[in-house]
Amino acid sequence: MLSLFIVTVLSVGAFEAGGRVGVLFPGSGLENSHGTAAVFDLGIGYRTNRSHFALAYGYSGLGARQAGPYRLELNELSLGYLHELFRREAPSGMASNWGFELGAAAGYSLLSRTLGSARETGGAPAGHLTLGFFQRQGHSRLALSLDNLLFLESQPAGGAGALSLTYLPALKGGIAYVF
C-alpha cells in the first residue's frame, strides 16, 4: 500500500531544491531604528500539477539605521503551500512556461539582538503570505515574489497579557532545480 502511494506520488509530481535572495524591509515600528537587510532562503519542495509544498530555511540580519555594532538576526524554518493561480503553458516547440502563484506558510524564527557583547535571544512563530511570478524552463524554475511575514509574539506565561504583531515585507528572487 505504501509503495503504491509512493509510486503514485512520484509519478504525478516532482521534487525541487533551490535558493532565494532578496531584501527584507523593517515594518511595524522597526523601521525607526532598523535598516533594510538582505535575506537568504534555502528550500526543498514537492510539486504536483499546480500545488507546491515547501520546507524552507531563511536567514536575515537587520542592522541599525546608523552604523554601529547592533544587529537583529532572524533564523527561520517554515513549511508552506503554494498554488499556481495562473499558468501560461508554453506553445509547442518552446520549452518555457510562466505564471503567478499565491502561497501561505507557517514557521518559527529564532531571534537574536546583539549590541557589542550584549545579546538577547528569543523566538517567535511567523506566518507568510506570498504572491509571486514564476518561469519554468527545463529543469530550472525562476521565481520572483513578494513575501509578507507576520510575527506573532505574546508575553510568556505568568506575565501580564500582551500580544504583539510585527510585519516584515520582503522582495525575493530565486532559482530552483526541478528533479
Partner 1 sequence: MSSRTAVINGLLASLLALVGLPGCGDMTLYRAKSDYFPLIPGSRWTYQVGTSLAIDSVANDSSVAGQACVVVLRDYAQEYWVKQTTSLRRFNRITLNRGGQDTVIEARYGLVYALPLVEGATWAESFRDTVVLLGTDTVFLKDSLTARVAAIEEVNTPAGAFIQCYRIDTHREVEAAEASFVADYSEWLAPGVGLVKRVTGTEERVLVEYQPGF
Q: Which residues contact 35 (CB under 8 A, 6 or more apart)?
A: 26, 62, 63, 64, 65
Instruction: Assign 95 to helix, strand or coil.
Output: coil
Binding residues among 42-71 for partner 1 as defined by CB under 8 A: 50-51, 64-66, 68, 70
By CB under 8 A, residue 148 contacts partner 1: no
By CB under 8 A, residue 171 contacts partner 1: no
Determine the Cα–Cα distance for residues 39 and 23; give it in Å rounded to an integer.
6
Supply the minimum distance, in Å, between the C-beta of residue 59 and partner 1.
Answer: 16
By CB under 8 A, residue 162 contacts partner 1: yes
CB-CB contact of 112 with 134 (8 Å): no
By CB under 8 A, residue 77 contacts partner 1: no
Q: Find the binder of partner 1 among 72, 143, 170, 176 (CB under 8 A).
A: 72
Nearest to 103 by CA among 74, 73, 141, 132: 132
Residue closer to partner 1 (CB basis): 8 or 28: 28
Q: Is the dihedral of CA 48, 51, 57, 61 positive or negative?
A: positive
Instruction: Quote the DSSP letter at residue 87.
Output: E
By CB under 8 A, residue 9 contacts partner 1: no
Total residues interacting with partner 1, rule: CB under 8 A: 59
What are 127's three cell numbers? Answer: 506566518
Q: Find the binder of partner 1 among 99, 113, 171, 173 (CB under 8 A).
A: 113
Residue closer to partner 1 (CB basis): 3 or 117: 117
Residue closer to partner 1 (CB basis): 168 or 176: 168
By CB under 8 A, residue 8 contacts partner 1: no
